[in-house]
Structure 1
Amino acid sequence: MRAARLIRMALLVQSSPGLTAAALARELEVSERTVIRDAQALQEAGVPIRSERGRSGGYHLAPGHRTRLTTLHPTEAETLYLSGLPTALRDLGLSDAADTARLKLSATMLPSLRAAAEASTRRFHLDAPAWFREPSAPDLLPELARAVWSDRTVELAYARPGRDGAPPRTVTRLLEPYGLVLKAGVWYVVGRVPARDTVAEAWRTYRVDRVTALADAPRAAGDEPGAPFVRDPSFDLAAHWLAHSAGFARALLRTTVTLRLTEHGLRRLPAVADPAGIGEALAAAGAPDPAGRVTLDLPVESEDVAFATLTELGADAEVLAPEGLRARFREHARALAALYGAGPQDQR
């Protein structure tokens, strides 16, 4: 494991001269003391790495020196060929470019590595869309992807879903598009809404299939045509999405249902309820009663969703509150008793 870390450190210093011990420690997920020891180990192995002080300091390789650590291992070649989702590349209009890049990469590989890389595509296929959903790429996705690549501020029209059955309404937003995310077959654009006179700067996420129009943003006085926005170098798309998706999932859970569950119902709860609310519900649950039943408060999206999901638990879940939902289960139980209480011959 240390050998792999030393190789990665040497490649990091080669590709980004001037990285500090703190920066290398973050990249390698080790302590700064470990970085110093690893630098000494590289020096002893003949890699001329040195640490410099001052404004342009950090770790550097000797001028003109390049490591010979860039030869791919067969496993690395296999992994590289799996690094792109075919459907995502097609949606973005990049499938031809990806095919060309793979051909160029294959041409530079040793025959043994080429065989290993090509074998991976015959053994693994990544299919991003969810089941029972016809995948379709939003019409404006390729143009939005070009805006992301070029750091181009755009003006987009967005069909915001209406509430309580109301029709969608279209809003217009200026957006600095920082990245695109494919989640369960649905594309999202993540970006920053620039600050204006009455609007503070904010990060926003929009479903691309709800973007109905896209254009270059109007230029402010003094801006050069086609000038890109200044990207925040500290922005991490993966970390931002992880935090956003967790917060979004929890924000949907606006209602709380009090349940009494049997031991079997408690085991089955994660299979029917929203994972975003189960953790806190179980953490706050009390001890089982003498019959082994556990009472807990479960966050849910709505009473309708709770009714649809909790019916799957049958008699292993008893709704204690709210009373309206409990009444629905009583009525449901009566209807089932009436249906199944009589024999088939009595229903003719």
Structure 2
Amino acid sequence: MRAARLIRMVLLLQARREMTATELAAELEVSERTVSRDVLALSEAGVPVYADRGRAGGYRLVGGYRTRLTGMGRSEAEALFLSGVPSALRDLGLADAASAARLKVSAALDPALGDVHDSAAQRFHLDAPGWWQVPETPALLPALADAVWSDRRILVRYRRGNASGDREVERELEPHGLVLKAGRWYLAARVPADAGRADRSPWRVYRVGRFTEVAVYDTHFDRDGGFDLAGFWTEHAAAFAQSLLRSAVTLRLTGPGARRLRYVTDRVAADEALAGGAVDGRGRTTVVLRVESEEVGFEQLLMLGPECEVLEPPSLRQRFADAARRTAALYRENADEAVPGDAGPPPEPERGAGPEADLAAGPATGAAAGPAAGGEPEADAQR
């Protein structure tokens, strides 16, 4: 473990020329005291690591020293071959380049490791799209990818959805990154300062499938060196999902209803509701649940059937009462057609009860798999 960390430290200093103890500690996920001990160990082993003292000091390799400890082990090579998503590379127009890179890496490996590509591919596979979704391959994606790689401004036209339908909007953007989420591509971009409003963040997220035109300028923009695509996306996606939950409903759940709640609605909202719930003497839990709208709440909670009673708001409670009456009337009208001795379908297996139950039940749908009713993280045009 320590030997691998020492090699990483040398390679980091070789690549970045000079790093502070704080930077090394963050990269290696150790304390600054451990960094000091490791530097001493490298010096004793003959690696010329020099320490610049003072507030602006750091560590560097002396005299252009370069290590030859760059050979890949089996686990490193397997991880490298797993790092690309074939479908994403194909969509970006990089399939040929990725294939060439894999061949070059394979040729450079120790002959004993020649099977790692096939070994990794036969053991792990990423299927990015969600269940019951056709993967989206936008025709304009390669042009956007080229602009992202080269830090060039773009002029786009996209369909912006609202209550009255879609309308096309034109924007000038500085594209910083592309994200593949559940089979759909999104662009993280910055609106130039002269085009953005002073009262809101210049950062936007757009669904690439809504772009109708993309013009790539010859001019380059100054990329934000502090932009962290993964961190930005995580924060944006979480904020967007929570922003959809604009309404609240009060429910009384049976034990089975409480267990199944997180599988029919937003899981974070369900967990929050259950954590603050009150249990009565009959084992029923009263909770306040955040939902996207009354319409969406009705569609989601209807799946719980008699395991859920809506208490508030009155309009939603009335909708459930009407639905219950219509359902009861339907079964009374068709009672003559019932099969004698038919006890009804078996109870639905609990999700997560085991592999067989998961396979029988299939993947979670609706809000359990993402924002309800087709909500998309599109900050400039939420729908």
Q: TM-score, normalised by structure 1?
A: 0.91
Distance 1:248 1:198 in 2: 20
Q: Name the structure, 1 or 2, with higher relative contact order (CA <8 Å, separation 6+).
A: 2
Match of 1:189 among 165, 169, 187: 187
Are the structure 2 counterparts of residues 198 and 89 from structure 1 closer, same or farther at C-alpha, using a change threshold of 3 Å? closer
Q: Distance in 2 between matches of 1:282 and 1:67?
A: 56
Secondary structure of the residue that 1:153 maps to in structure 2?
strand
Measured against aligned partners, the alpha-carbon deviations of 1:59-93 in whole angstroms (never above 9, x if no partner) come to 11122322233111111111111110100000000
Residue equivalent to 1:172: 170
Matched with 1:223 is: none
Do the aligned residues in 2 keep the contact of 1:74 with 1:117 (CA within 8 Å)?
no
Structure-2 residue corresponding to 1:341: 332
* Identical aligned residues as a percent: 54
Question: How much does 1:279 deviate?
Answer: 3.3
**Structure 1 residue 56: deviation in Å?**
7.4
1:259 corresponds in structure 2 to 251
- The CA RMSD measured in Å over matched residues stands at 1.9
User: Aligned letter for 2:85?
Assistant: L
**8 Å CA contact 1:257, 1:299 repeated in 2:** yes
Specify whether residues 294 and 70 from structure 1 end up closer, same or farther in structure 2 by C-alpha distance, changes over 3 A only. same
The equivalent position to 1:248 in structure 2, one of 232, 240, 243, is 240
Which residue type is aligned with residue 271 of structure 2? Answer: G
**Aligned ranges 1:1-348 → 2 under 5 Å:** 1-53=1-53, 57-163=57-163, 166-196=164-194, 199-200=197-198, 202-216=202-216, 226-286=218-278, 288-342=279-333, 344-345=335-336
Shift of 1:57: 4.0
Asked if structure 2 preserves the Cα contact closer than 8 Å seen for 1:246 and 1:276, the reply is no
Amino acid paired to 1:243: E
Q: Following TM superposition, by how much is the alpha carbon of 1:280 offset from its aligned partner in structure 2, in angstroms? A: 2.6
Question: Any gaps of 5 or more consecutive residues in structure 2?
Answer: 339-383
Partners in 2 of 1:197 and 1:157 — Cα distance?
15
**AA matched with 1:183:** K
Alpha-carbon contact 2:143-2:216 (below 8 Å) kept: no
- Supply the AA of the counterpart residue of 2:246: R
Could you tell me how far 1:343 is from its partner in structure 2? 5.2
Distance 2:195 2:240 in 1: 28
User: 1 CA distance for matches of 2:258 and 2:183?
Assistant: 31
Once residues 127 and 280 of structure 1 are traced to their aligned partners in structure 2, the CA distance between those partners, rounded to angstroms, is 30
Distance in 2 (CA, whole Å) between partners of 1:122 and 1:250 is: 38
CA shift, 1:308, in A, is: 1.2
Q: How many residues align?
A: 336
Residue 322 and residue 172 in structure 1: after superposition, are their counterparts in 2 closer, same or farther (change >3 A)?
Answer: same
